[in-house]
Amino acid sequence: MHDTGSTQLSLIRQLTFCAGHRLYRHESKCAFFHGHNYRVDIEVVGDSGGTEVDDVGRVVDFSLIKKRMLGWLDANWDHAFLVFEEDANALAAVRMVQPTKYFVMPWNPTAENMARYLLEVVAPNVLGDLGVIARRVAVWETDESCAVATLVGEQVGDAPTLAAAVCVDAR
Ligand SMILES: [Zn+2]
């Protein structure tokens, strides 16, 4: 490891996936079932404070961030329907369709809450052993609009437990 002095280094990796959702209790058209081509920007920093690089001069190799985060997104959110756990009506609908792939969220699946879930739950679980932490996650719903979740303070304790997509394919 090499010390970079007072300069903090971080990486940003872009990831894309497609998913459906609806916003429970939304006042307008976002209450309808619909989907987005999502883009995620994830920023990671070394867990020792971001002032160290490896012998090659990297925070971490970009390909590892892609492999871990996109691997999780492909398995769980890509081509899935994201449903808030309290949205019983939408849950019943996505369970009725065959084949189906859906992911039950602890919060309403807004871009804000998706960014928060990736930052607080997914990233610590899939990046933990790489010596980096996710500092910021942006979720782009359109080319014009994104929500940003930023880590405040230090991570304390173990990462929350990860949920997994429910896939039912009776074909
Ligand atoms: Zn939407």
CA distance readout (Å), 127 to 10, 62, 134, 139: 14, 12, 8, 18
- If 0-12 CB within 10 Å is exposed, 13-18 middle and 19+ buried, where does residue 96 land? exposed
Q: How far is the CA of 130 from the centre of ligand 1 (A)?
A: 32
The torsion defined by the Cα of 78, 163, 147 and 119, in degrees rounded to 10, comes to -120
CATH of the domain at 8: 3.30.479.10
How many domains is the chain partitioned into structurally? Answer: 1
Whether pTM > 0.85 for this model: the answer is yes
The position carrying tokens 């090499």 is 2
Domain boundaries, position 43: 2-168
Q: How far is the CA of 3 from the centre of ligand 1 (A)?
A: 43
Cα–Cα distance for residue pair 141/2, rounded to 1 Å: 38
Helices (H), 56-109: 62-65, 71-76, 88-96
Q: How far is the CA of 6 from the centre of ligand 1 (A)?
A: 41
Q: One digit per residue, pLDDT tens: the chain, 171 residues?
A: 788 888 999 999 999 999 999 999 999 999 999 999 999 999 999 988 888 888 898 999 999 999 999 999 999 999 999 999 999 999 999 999 999 999 999 999 999 999 999 999 999 999 989 999 999 999 999 999 999 999 987 666 677 888 899 988 767
pLDDT score recorded for residue 37: 98
Q: How far is the CA of 114 from the centre of ligand 1 (A)?
A: 11
pLDDT score recorded for residue 71: 97
Q: How far is the CA of 51 from the centre of ligand 1 (A)?
A: 38
Q: How far is the CA of 97 from the centre of ligand 1 (A)?
A: 20
Cα–Cα distance for residue pair 143/165, rounded to 1 Å: 26
Q: How far is the CA of 8 from the centre of ligand 1 (A)?
A: 35
Cβ proximity of 166 and 102 under 8 Å: yes
Phi, psi of 126 (to 5 degrees): -95, -20
